[in-house]
Structure 1
Amino acid sequence: MLKTQAAQPARFGLSRRTGLWNRILKSRHLYIMIAPGLLYFALFKYLPMWGVMIAFKDYLPFRGFWSSPWVGFKHFDRFFHDPVFWLLFKNTFVLAVYNIAFFFPIPILVALMLNELRLEWFKRSIQTAIYIPHFVSWVVVVGIVYTFFSSEGGIFTKMMADAGMPQFNFLMSNDWFRPMIILEVIWKESGWGTIIFLAALSGVDPTLYEAAKIDGASRFRQLWHITLPAIRSTIVILFILRLGSFLDTGFEQIFLMLNSTNREVGEVFDTYVYVNGVQQGQFSFSTAVGLFKSVIGLCLVLAANQAAKKLGEQGVY
């Protein structure tokens, strides 16, 4: 009796392992397809995470990663007590809020407008036109901005002069730095951001619209009661994921737009890390700053995901 009872769990565990192995063999082609993606994340996302250890060390290249002395939270303490910390935090936070408030809704609105177009050739033409800026590098985008707004021969500046308006240097203005950053992001990335929302809209059952038309619902009512609820979960998930990179304001764009006159409003964590880590060789200190940003992003994701679940949404996990 005891032998039988002891053998049953062993056979049960063996059958479970055999069943799992059989399912893996049955879906082996799918696992082979996802293997490159898993390998990419393992090599370039998870393995480099060991590098954050130098935020707690005084990293010396000639002594190596493991032999450098531990200093605990020395670099964090130095960063938080640095007078420039609050300036960096303010500039980064304001740009991040502007991104969420002004950029995040734009792809949703564009996707909703594209979804209302009935001429397929016209819809595809518009999609192609607004996708193209995504493939243009930030160097080219900033170059275009300088071509239009430079005080020395800029197209827009010359138009203002020809119209008898006083010349104004947008590129040197503290007041115009943040709006120009957001407008550049909107122009470059809004079209690309519509892809996921258009994919979600393609899954809406057409019979819902037909039933709404029979009931006399206007296009706006259909949009409000059918289209938006259908993509609400997608919006929530993308919003939560966006919060994960809340403090990532884009190094390349801001670095190219910075100059000596707008640095007071344009210096952010990313440019500060570049100056201290790459130019000055303070690897441990710059890693501590980057780790601080990552922890803030993680906390925001966890908080937003919990809030989404309390409001009845699924969240990301």
Structure 2
Amino acid sequence: MSKKYKQADLALGGAVRNKKPLGQRIWNSRGYYLMFLPVFIFVIIMYYWPMLGVRYSFYSYKLKNIHWVGLENFQIMFAKAEFWSALRNTLIISIAKLLINTFAAVIISVFLNEMGNIIAKKAFQTVIYLPHFMSYAVVAAIFTLFLSNSSTGFINETLKEWGVISTSIDFLHSTKMWRPIFYLINMWKETGWGTVIFLATLAGINPEIYEAADIDGATRLQKIWYVTVPELANTIIIVLILNIAKVLNIFEPVFVLYNSRVYDVADVISTYIYRQTFLQFIPDYGYTTAVGLFKSVVGGILMLLSNFASKKVRGRGII
């Protein structure tokens, strides 16, 4: 064996001999583990402990009347028109919200990238980022006040003053208007924050590409269409893929804005579970657990599909 390999072998042996026992290494790093402990406990309690309740989806669980029913809860679920309506609304609202917010973020990112005035650019970014840090409850209160059909409704009163309408419009109680209003409110709240990832992508574009386009006589719009947009395409696809896995998880944005008059167009899986659990005189916890289990299984499948698509597009998965 050469001298070089002998030295390497000795070094490796020394490293193995000097390796401390696991318990001692944990004790030496106890400060880090103590900082991690609250997060670990939170995850166990909030995400893993509830999994033990999955068994109730096979029971009829009405207060003290608890008995095994097998797959009956799932049969009832699939037979209910309310469930299918909630599932359809979940897919429509979540996918539409994702597409609208993503492409609005792309447009605003391109606009910001083209702004030459740095002060104006920073000011505009600050303004559009702020809504993201507001809770949905506050956002709902603001827009409910603006869209109210009472004398406090700013939009209705303004339209009356301008002679556009003669009677107030009940915006948030209209099945035709609820979804468009919901999309606009969500776009206002989340689009600004969504521009962060696209602006980061734009910052990484090689300036020489734009210089070459200038030499070829390209206009600003041509540079946007033939240089900027293609550079963003991969990021757009990744953002869409990563968010597809979460389409069934929508709750709070809908919950704070909807009401019984728009259940047909606004009730989603999570709000449906909430209503069946807390707004029934004698709730069947077994049935709502079955609906929750269905949502979790479908969400898991979507996560795996998103992970597979992510590996195909960017070479690595999301899990």
Q: Which residue of 1 aligns with 2:285?
A: 283
1:236 aligns with 2:234: no
C-alpha displacement at 1:91, in angstroms?
2.2
One-letter code of the match for 2:158? M
Q: Which residue of 2 aligns with 1:102?
A: 100
C-alpha displacement at 1:295, in angstroms?
2.5
Q: Is the 8 A contact 1:243 1:297 kept in 2?
A: no
In structure 2, relative to structure 1, the CA distance for the partners of 1:59 and 1:301 (3 Å cut) is same
In structure 2, relative to structure 1, the CA distance for the partners of 1:43 and 1:221 (3 Å cut) is farther
In structure 2, relative to structure 1, the CA distance for the partners of 1:277 and 1:118 (3 Å cut) is same
C-alpha displacement at 1:256, in angstroms?
2.9
In structure 2, relative to structure 1, the CA distance for the partners of 1:233 and 1:148 (3 Å cut) is same
Return the match for 1:84 from 82, 85, 94. Answer: 82
C-alpha displacement at 1:48, in angstroms?
4.5
1:198 aligns with 2:199: yes
C-alpha displacement at 1:125, in angstroms?
0.9
In structure 2, relative to structure 1, the CA distance for the partners of 1:190 and 1:150 (3 Å cut) is same
> In structure 2, what is the Cα distance between the partners aligned to 1:214 and 1:32?
57
Q: Is the 8 A contact 2:242 2:306 kept in 1?
A: no
Using the size of structure 1 for normalisation, the TM-score is: 0.76
C-alpha displacement at 1:213, in angstroms?
2.5
One-letter code of the match for 2:274? Y
RMSD, aligned CA = 3.8
Q: Is the 8 A contact 1:236 1:308 kept in 2?
A: no
> In structure 1, what is the Cα distance between the partners aligned to 2:72 and 2:200?
48
C-alpha displacement at 1:94, in angstroms?
2.3
SS in 1 for 2:248: coil
> In structure 2, what is the Cα distance between the partners aligned to 1:229 and 1:198?
14
1:273 aligns with 2:273: yes
**Which structure ranks higher in relative contact order (CA pairs < 8 Å, sequence separation ≥ 6)?**
2
Alignment of 1:173-192 (within 5 A): 173-192=174-193
1:292 aligns with 2:289: no
C-alpha displacement at 1:190, in angstroms?
0.6
Q: Is the 8 A contact 1:233 1:314 kept in 2?
A: no
> In structure 1, what is the Cα distance between the partners aligned to 2:317 and 2:233?
11
One-letter code of the match for 1:224? W
Q: What are structure 2's unaligned runs of at least 5 residues?
A: 1-11
Map Cα deviations across residues 4-34 of structure 1 (whole Å, 9 max, x no partner).
xxxxxxx99x97xx7xx9xx99xx9xx8899
The share of aligned pairs that are identical, in percent, is 35
Q: Which residue of 2 aligns with 1:122?
A: 120
One-letter code of the match for 1:213? D
Q: Which runs of 4+ in 1 moved over 6 A?
A: 31-34, 60-63
One-letter code of the match for 1:286? T
> In structure 2, what is the Cα distance between the partners aligned to 1:136 and 1:76?
38
C-alpha displacement at 1:196, in angstroms?
1.8
In structure 2, relative to structure 1, the CA distance for the partners of 1:205 and 1:187 (3 Å cut) is same
Q: Which residue of 2 aligns with 1:157?
A: 156
Q: Which residue of 2 aligns with 1:143?
A: 141
One-letter code of the match for 1:245? K
> In structure 1, what is the Cα distance between the partners aligned to 2:184 and 2:119?
28
> In structure 1, what is the Cα distance between the partners aligned to 2:294 and 2:111?
39
> In structure 2, what is the Cα distance between the partners aligned to 1:224 and 1:36?
49
Map Cα deviations across residues 22-59 of structure 1 (whole Å, 9 max, x no partner).
xx99xx9xx88995797365664455544444434556
Q: What are structure 1's unaligned runs of at least 5 residues?
A: 1-10
C-alpha displacement at 1:179, in angstroms?
0.7
Alignment of 1:55-74 (within 5 A): 55-58=57-60, 71-74=69-72
In structure 2, relative to structure 1, the CA distance for the partners of 1:290 and 1:156 (3 Å cut) is same
Map Cα deviations across residues 217-265 of structure 1 (whole Å, 9 max, x no partner).
3333433343334333332222112111112333x33223223322222
One-letter code of the match for 2:88? K
C-alpha displacement at 1:212, in angstroms?
3.0
C-alpha displacement at 1:85, in angstroms?
1.8
Using the size of structure 2 for normalisation, the TM-score is: 0.76
User: Which 10-residue stretch deviates more, 37-46 or 142-151?
Assistant: 37-46
C-alpha displacement at 1:127, in angstroms?
0.9
In structure 2, relative to structure 1, the CA distance for the partners of 1:172 and 1:37 (3 Å cut) is same
SS in 2 for 1:174: coil
One-letter code of the match for 1:288? A
In structure 2, relative to structure 1, the CA distance for the partners of 1:38 and 1:225 (3 Å cut) is farther
> In structure 2, what is the Cα distance between the partners aligned to 1:57 and 1:261?
32
In structure 2, relative to structure 1, the CA distance for the partners of 1:274 and 1:312 (3 Å cut) is closer
SS in 1 for 2:73: helix
Map Cα deviations across residues 177-224 of structure 1 (whole Å, 9 max, x no partner).
111111110011111111122222222233332333233333334333
